[in-house]
């Protein structure tokens, strides 16, 4: 018992700091003040911040599919009971009104709602593509919305196609899917619009089992691949000059809670891994990345708020609420 009396250094650290370079963060695992008896969560899949600064969390717990927090972690309100497979959450500013797009894995649908949950549109499985014969083949994971309202759906747990609709939900075309060419995808888990170049927006699509992001034009023409060796990246999230992504797990330790968070600059160079290995490029090639600190299990999404804080939602991680990471100046 004598060992118990020793004062370990661990207790005197002000808080664990994650990451490298100028993208370092202090982690707070107790950010959420939600009462688990009143506001339970299952998998915490994705988060966004709305215009008024609130943080919305999407979970596949139908007692409250959406938890609405303030930045201090207090629950403001909740809504949603009809999304058993709630997975993807995308915010879009539609002519001054914020709307949400929810991908539901279990319903095999994409649902557009108001910011407080009123259903505006439901997109069923894309039979127009000629590649699907029944809803069960379609398991959408994410959406991205173009400035004109066009909707791009990633069928990340289905057939890995990206399906393109107009703002009214009319089918336009599809691309991606599985195959052996560079333009193909494997586990197209996420998609986002990249406006950083200043020209026409570019689509960035996750190909998670290939440990990569792939870039396409809005018409679906393949541009190039951003290789992220070892990392099962979830959706790309762009804020300012940077791209953030939760890494569900790493190749070297699959099924073993080996996730971390990766941050890329606008040249798609990895500049920091939060709870992950310091990125190392040899002859321009990124070496395999892996978890170094076990503070996340299976991180699934990153939300960046207006003060540059990060919120990390996790899948299959003991029903934990999101963690908050504050930048270290």
Partner 1 sequence: MKLLFFQTLYLLMFHYGAAQEAFRLAKPIIGYRSAFFNDSAVADLRFAQAGTQIYYTLNGREPTEADSKYQRPVVIKESMTTLKAKVFGRGFFPSATASVTFIQDGLPIKSVEQPAGDENFKGNGAATLQDNLGGIADMHSTNFIGYRRDSVTILITLDKPQSVQSILFDFLQDEGSWIFLPQKVEVLFYNYKNRAYDPWLEKIFSPDSLIKGSSTVLAMLTSGQKLVTDQIKVMLRPLSSIPAWHPGKGNKAWLFIDEVKIY
User: For binding to partner 1 (CB under 8 A), which residues are involved?
Assistant: 3-4, 8-11, 13-16, 20, 27-30, 251-256, 258, 275, 277-278, 280, 288, 290-295
Q: How far apart are CA 224 and CA 14, in angstroms?
A: 42
If the CB atoms of residues 16 and 129 are measured against partner 1, the closer one turns out to be: 16
Give Cα 127 to chain centroid, integer Å.
Answer: 26
Buried b (16+ CB within 10 A) or exposed e, 138-151: bbbbbbbbbeeebb
Minimum distance of partner 1 from residue 250's CB (angstroms): 9
Q: How far apart are CA 274 and CA 282, in angstroms?
A: 21
Minimum distance of partner 1 from residue 262's CB (angstroms): 13
Minimum distance of partner 1 from residue 69's CB (angstroms): 18
DSSP-derived 3-state class of residue 208:
helix
If the CB atoms of residues 90 and 211 are measured against partner 1, the closer one turns out to be: 211
Burial of 97 (0-12, 13-18, 19+ CB in 10 A): exposed
Place of tokens 């490029």: 281
If the CB atoms of residues 6 and 240 are measured against partner 1, the closer one turns out to be: 6
| Distant-in-sequence, close-in-space partners of 32: CB < 8 Å, separation ≥ 6 | 69, 73, 321, 322
Minimum distance of partner 1 from residue 42's CB (angstroms): 15
Minimum distance of partner 1 from residue 38's CB (angstroms): 22
Q: How far apart are CA 116 and CA 190, in angstroms?
A: 23
Minimum distance of partner 1 from residue 73's CB (angstroms): 13
Minimum distance of partner 1 from residue 16's CB (angstroms): 6
If the CB atoms of residues 163 and 231 are measured against partner 1, the closer one turns out to be: 231
Sort residue 3 into left (φ over 0), alpha (ψ -120 to 50) or beta.
alpha
If the CB atoms of residues 125 and 296 are measured against partner 1, the closer one turns out to be: 296
If the CB atoms of residues 27 and 48 are measured against partner 1, the closer one turns out to be: 27
Q: How far apart are CA 10 and CA 13, in angstroms?
A: 6
Cβ neighbour number for residue 222 with a 10 Å cutoff: 17
Minimum distance of partner 1 from residue 205's CB (angstroms): 21
Strands 23-28 and 17-20: antiparallel
Q: How far apart are CA 325 and CA 328, in angstroms?
A: 9
């Amino acid at each position: 018992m004598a060992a118990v009396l020793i004062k370990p250094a661990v207790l005197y650290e002000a808080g664990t700091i994650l990451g490298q370079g100028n993208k370092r963060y202090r982690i707070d695992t107790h950010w959420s003040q939600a009462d688990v008896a009143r506001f339970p969560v299952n998998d915490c899949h994705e988060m966004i911040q709305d215009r008024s600064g609130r943080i919305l969390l999407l979970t596949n717990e139908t007692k409250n599919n959406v938890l609405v927090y303030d930045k201090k972690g207090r629950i403001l309100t909740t809504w949603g009971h009809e999304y058993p497979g709630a997975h993807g959450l995308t915010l879009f500013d539609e002519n001054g009104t914020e709307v949400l797009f929810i991908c539901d894995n279990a319903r095999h649908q994409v649902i557009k709602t108001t910011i407080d949950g009123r259903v505006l549109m439901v997109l069923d499985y894309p039979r127009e593509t000629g590649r699907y014969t029944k809803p069960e083949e379609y398991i959408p994971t994410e959406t991205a919305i173009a400035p004109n309202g066009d909707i791009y759906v990633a069928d990340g747990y289905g057939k890995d196609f990206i399906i393109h609709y107009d703002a009214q939900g009319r089918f336009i075309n599809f691309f991606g899917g599985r195959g052996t060419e560079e333009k193909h995808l494997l586990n197209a888990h996420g998609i986002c619009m990249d406006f950083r170049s200043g020209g026409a927006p570019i689509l960035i699509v996750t190909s998670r089992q290939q440990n990569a992001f792939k870039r396409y034009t809005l018409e679906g023409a393949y541009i190039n691949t951003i290789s992220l060796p070892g990392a099962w990246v979830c959706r790309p999230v762009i804020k300012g000059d940077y791209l953030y992504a939760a890494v569900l797990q790493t190749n070297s330790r699959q099924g073993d809670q080996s996730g971390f968070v990766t941050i890329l600059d606008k040249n798609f160079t990895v500049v920091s891994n939060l709870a992950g290995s310091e990125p190392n490029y040899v002859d321009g090639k990124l070496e395999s990345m892996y978890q170094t600190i076990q503070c996340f299990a299976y991180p699934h999404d990153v939300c960046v708020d207006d003060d540059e804080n990060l919120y990390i939602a996790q899948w299959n991680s003991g029903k934990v609420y999101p963690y908050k990471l504050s930048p270290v100046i």
